[in-house]
Amino acid sequence: MSELAVRVDRVSKTFRMYRERNQTLKSAIMRGRTSVHDTFLALDDVTFDVPVGSTFGLIGSNGSGKSTLLKCLAHIYSPSAGSIVATGRVAAMLEVGSGFHSELSGRENIFLNGSILGMSKKELTIKFDEIVDFSGVEQFIDQPVKNYSSGMYVRLGFAIAINVNPDILVVDEVLAVGDAEFQAKCKVKFEDYRMAGKTVILVSHDLHSVRTMCDQAAWLSHGKLIEVGVAHSVVAAYRKSLPSPAVGD
């Protein structure tokens, strides 16, 4: 049996969807009742394993639970039921600008975001030139990141995350933002991770990239796991479920 990087075991995640919410104690007393809410089940009893050294894709339509699952993997959310066990250091790049301070420069945000991800100032100083070079934002590194495009945000954030030297890298749609050159850099870096025995878990709507880059994949729909297995087989099954040809295939 292959050594596991991540075990997702019967994970469910619920959220409260408020229809009426008391913002203060006074409003609760005046209205004479508690807040009114519905329960939304974002993940429903999801189970799969991710082998060490693999590139694992998560696919599915918008609202299927992919990003919620990644946030559980990154310990941003806690599962409402079930468990996720990850072996080794995890670095996550989930949203444009996550961990960045908009008023600070790119240079300052490298040290801020890197420290959030667990790197020391000495490590960041050593890695600084490599991070800037990979991101391709050298010309703007001393400008406030509030002036960056979404692509520049993602490139810089991804460059920081990969230099944390994690055992498991979790990324959400990093290939969807950025030019062809940056996407090619990402693919080379994922292959380097594979060769080094590290694990990548990624969400992507680009089915061609999932099929060619990933060893295995999981297909989610409305929070449920529909299929998990060899990437090209799971992608093929997902494509058949779509009413029209999938973008990126």
* pLDDT-wise least confident of 33-37, 53-57, 118-122: 33-37
56: β partners? 201, 216
High-pLDDT (> 90) share of the chain, %: 50
Domains of the chain: 4-241 (3.40.50.300)
> Distance between CA atoms of 240 and 197, rounded to whole angstroms?
33
> Distance between CA atoms of 162 and 114, rounded to whole angstroms?
10
pLDDT of residue 31: 56
CB of 164 within 8 A of CB of 119? Answer: yes
pLDDT at 59 over 90: yes
CB of 9 within 8 A of CB of 47? Answer: yes
Q: Which residues contact 66 (CB under 8 A, 6 or more apart)?
A: 58, 59, 60, 172, 203, 220
High-pLDDT (> 70) share of the chain, %: 85
* DSSP H helices in 139-245: 150-162, 180-195, 207-213, 231-241
pLDDT at 10 over 70: yes
pLDDT tens-digit series, residues 174-201: 666 666 778 788 888 888 888 888 999 9
Question: Is 81 or 25 the better-scoring residue by pLDDT?
Answer: 81
pLDDT at 212 over 90: no
3-class SS of residue 204: coil
pLDDT average, residue stretch 127-136: 92
Confidence of residue 116 (pLDDT cuts 50, 70, 90): confident
pLDDT average, residue stretch 147-154: 86
Core vs surface per residue 151-172: b (16+ CB within 10 A) or e: bbbbbbbbbbbbbbebbbbbbb
pLDDT average, residue stretch 95-121: 85
> Distance between CA atoms of 177 and 183, rounded to whole angstroms?
8
50: β partners? 6
pLDDT of residue 173: 75
Q: Which residues contact 177 (CB under 8 A, 6 or more apart)?
A: 96, 150, 151, 154, 155
Parallel/antiparallel/unpaired status of strands 224-230 and 216-221: antiparallel
pLDDT average, residue stretch 12-40: 66
* pLDDT-wise least confident of 23-32, 93-102, 202-211: 23-32
pLDDT of residue 35: 60
Two tokens at 201?
């878990």
